Chains A and B, each alone.
Chain A
């Protein structure tokens, strides 16, 4: 099967196979991405993150429906954590999205984090590119906002929305590390619950404290996603942010930044692989480890020596 041609011809099977190739690091994945790259950069990318149970999938479902009403095609990448014990995962985001599953203008793919060190954001970014080349107008990346890799994933989005719910105890305290700073929009979901006002004030205070360096003030919307309440105002905020990014030229800056991060990460990954092959898998290296264990030498000098050798090659 010619995956590249299939993706460009809008074959859903080809898109699915393309994402698998990227996700499983099949040898053909690089070739596929090379061929698809010129056809990417057209979709608008929306990142949605927040604590488990905040309603991200339900909100994603409602937003996707609204985009479809407006004639846009939608791709969704739903990322869920891999169990560190078994390496398996239960990917359940689709439960909330089954009524858009048959819509030909919607493509949903679940991805597990697989515990790969930093590799996840690259794989997600490549999956986004496959859907971009496939022709999705809007691509939504949905992740649980708990760790650095999840933050890295949504950083590649044009607009990032943080979804919160009232009543998670010390609401913001629990999740403030990292994920609040990346929000271009905030949505308080399940807004019929007690504690909405308190959470709203906390987000506002946090936003004031962090100081606004740009001309964009993150709006805070309230929704009851399961009832579709407030979804339209969220859409308005997304559109407003997209408009702001375009008019202020920040879209260009953001995308340049994201390309730069991606390229540097790719170079680093290639160097890492090179080192694994030429250094780590040699008999010499095993001897070095033994000598280190005996404290005959120190790792600081050895690391410098090895690097010097690699550069000279």
Chain B
């Protein structure tokens, strides 16, 4: 019997150390039956992508509250493509102004979650969109 599980990397790019949200999401994803690779705070996009590659994850969930999402999120999707990780679903969360969301989606972030999002919504999105 095959035992495929959805593997999700929960990562915090950039310099802010506010990991409460990332931890809550990590737990919610675990409780939904996903395998969550949690890597802690202050990572570079390069570290995140290399981890995604070695861990062969299906999803990369980025959390960022420093305001640098317009730079760091697209950097992650760009590097993923460069490494040939084309099937990885990328989602992001944090204090992100509505105005920024369209350009982030255009850069390959499949969905964006702002404060107050029920974790169930993230779980549903992953289940529906994972490749």
B30 located at the interface, meaning its Cβ lies under 8 Å from any Cβ of chain A in the complex: yes
Chain A residue, CB-CB nearest to B2: A25
Question: B interface, how many residues as a size bin?
Answer: 20 to 34
B100 located at the interface, meaning its Cβ lies under 8 Å from any Cβ of chain A in the complex: no
Per-residue contact bits, chain A 1-28, to B (CB 8 Å; 1 contact, 0 not): 0000000000011011101100111100
Report the count of interface residues on A (CB-CB < 8 A).
33
A98 is contacted by which of B33, B39, B83 (Cβ under 8 Å)? B39
A292 located at the interface, meaning its Cβ lies under 8 Å from any Cβ of chain B in the complex: no
With A16-B53, A17-B56, A109-B55 as contacts: A88 and B83 at CB distance below 8 Å? no
Tell me if A26 and B2 are in contact (CB < 8 A). Answer: yes
Tell me if B37 and A13 are in contact (CB < 8 A). Answer: no
Tell me if B32 and A86 are in contact (CB < 8 A). Answer: yes
Tell me if B36 and A90 are in contact (CB < 8 A). Answer: yes
Q: Which residues of B contact A83 (CB under 8 A)?
A: 30-31
Per-residue contact bits, chain A 98-109, to B (CB 8 Å; 1 contact, 0 not): 100110000111
A91 located at the interface, meaning its Cβ lies under 8 Å from any Cβ of chain B in the complex: yes
Q: Which residues of A contact B84 (CB under 8 A)?
A: 13
Rounded to whole Å, the gap between the CB of A53 and the closest CB of chain B is: 16
- How long is the Cα–Cα vector from A90 to B22 in the complex, in angstroms? 12
Within 8 A of B (CB), among A68-92: 82-83, 85-92
B129 located at the interface, meaning its Cβ lies under 8 Å from any Cβ of chain A in the complex: no
Tell me if A91 and B33 are in contact (CB < 8 A). Answer: no
B120 located at the interface, meaning its Cβ lies under 8 Å from any Cβ of chain A in the complex: no
Chain B residue, CB-CB nearest to A97: B39
Tell me if A88 and B55 are in contact (CB < 8 A). Answer: no
- How long is the Cα–Cα vector from A12 to B29 in the complex, in angstroms? 26
Residue positions of B touching A, CB distance < 8 A? 1-5, 26-27, 29-40, 43, 46-47, 50-51, 53-56, 83-85
Residue positions of A touching B, CB distance < 8 A? 12-13, 15-17, 19-20, 23-26, 82-83, 85-92, 94-95, 98, 101-102, 107-110, 112, 114, 116
